[in-house]
């Protein structure tokens, strides 16, 4: 079921609605990270009282150069961990479009699902982003400590945690469009093992540059198929 759902989602990756959500997610995520970097530079400038430049752009004094280079490296490392979670969270705002495209293509006999109010989608996105970043920050610290004693712990923690969060969020968002939040949570709890495994499979490509940015779209589509499969099984 999981593999079939993923292959169906992958086969629809060229859908215009998929491309629209991908573009919005990437652009908004990039804008957010640029804003965060600008805020970091402003903080450095406020502490040093001097202008800070981005490395390789113009000549600056050694202190500015050092701080600018350090901040640039810091943001590059941070973006590696945050770009996909941020894109994932922002994409969840537009999950309705992805799920609708999936249902129009594969479940044409279903009645139209009620639109999720923008305020509700924004609230869920902010909550999910906070949980995702907070959990990954804690996991990063734990994994860094665990790595010293047991190096294989790092990928286990990263993929296990993100698989859990991805599965939990995307399945709930896909299901609540059709059966409401309470029933969606109940269905998710009954099939937590399947949903966690599917989430881990979605999380595996997260560390691959560029490919990881497509995962939120594929995840949303995949979990829409998984929801319909599990919901049909439950009714049967």
What DSSP assignment string belongs to 98-161?
Answer: HHHHHHHHH-TTSPPPPPPPHHHHHHHHHHHHHHHHHHHHHHHHHHHHHHHH-TTHHHHHHHHH
Question: What stretches of 49-94 show up as alpha helix (H) in DSSP?
Answer: 62-91
Contact 68, 42 (CB under 8 A): no
**Residues 62-98 pLDDT 10s:** 445 545 555 555 555 555 555 556 666 666 677 788 8
Contact 72, 57 (CB under 8 A): no
- Higher pLDDT pick, 122 / 74: 122
**Residues 135-146 pLDDT 10s:** 767 777 776 776
Supply the pTM of this predicted model.
0.73
Taking the C-alpha atoms of residue 58 and residue 74, their distance in angstroms, rounded to an integer, is 20
Q: What is the pLDDT of residue 226?
A: 94
Q: Give the largest Cα separation in the chain, rounded.
A: 71
Q: Which of 184, 206, 209 is nearest to 195 (CA)?
A: 184
**13-16: long-range contacts (C-beta < 8 A, 24 or more apart)?**
13/214, 13/217, 13/218, 15/101, 15/105
- Sign of the alpha-carbon dihedral angle for 5, 89, 137, 182: negative
- Higher pLDDT pick, 206 / 44: 206
Q: At 234, is the pLDDT very low, low, confident or very high (cuts 50, 70, 90)?
A: very low
**Residues 177-208 pLDDT 10s:** 888 888 999 999 999 999 999 998 888 877 67
pLDDT-above-70 percentage for the chain: 64
CA distances from 34 to 28, 30, 139, 185 (A): 10, 6, 24, 35
């Amino acid at each position: 079921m999981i593999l079939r759902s993923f292959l169906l989602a992958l086969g629809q990756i060229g859908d215009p609605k998929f491309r629209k959500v991908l573009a919005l997610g990437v652009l908004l995520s990039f804008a957010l990270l640029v804003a965060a970097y600008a805020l970091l530079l402003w903080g450095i400038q406020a502490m040093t009282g001097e202008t800070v430049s981005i490395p390789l752009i113009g000549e600056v004094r050694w202190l500015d150069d050092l701080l600018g280079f350090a901040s640039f490296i810091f943001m590059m490392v941070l973006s590696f961990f945050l770009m996909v979670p941020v894109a994932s969270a922002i994409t969840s705002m537009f999950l309705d479009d992805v799920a609708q495209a999936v249902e129009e293509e594969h479940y044409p006999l279903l009645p139209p699902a009620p639109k999720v109010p923008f305020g509700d989608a924004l609230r869920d996105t902010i909550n999910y982003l906070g949980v995702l970043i907070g959990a990954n920050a804690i996991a990063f610290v734990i994994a860094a400590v665990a790595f010293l004693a047991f190096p294989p712990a790092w990928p286990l923690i990263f993929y296990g945690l993100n698989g859990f969060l991805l599965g939990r969020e995307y399945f709930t968002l896909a299901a609540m469009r059709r059966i409401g939040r309470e029933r969606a949570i109940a269905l998710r709890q009954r099939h937590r093992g399947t949903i966690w495994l599917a989430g881990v499979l979605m999380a595996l490509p997260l560390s691959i540059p560029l490919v990881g940015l497509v995962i939120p779209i594929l995840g949303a589509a995949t979990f829409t198929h998984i929801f319909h499969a599990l919901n049909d099984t439950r009714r049967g």
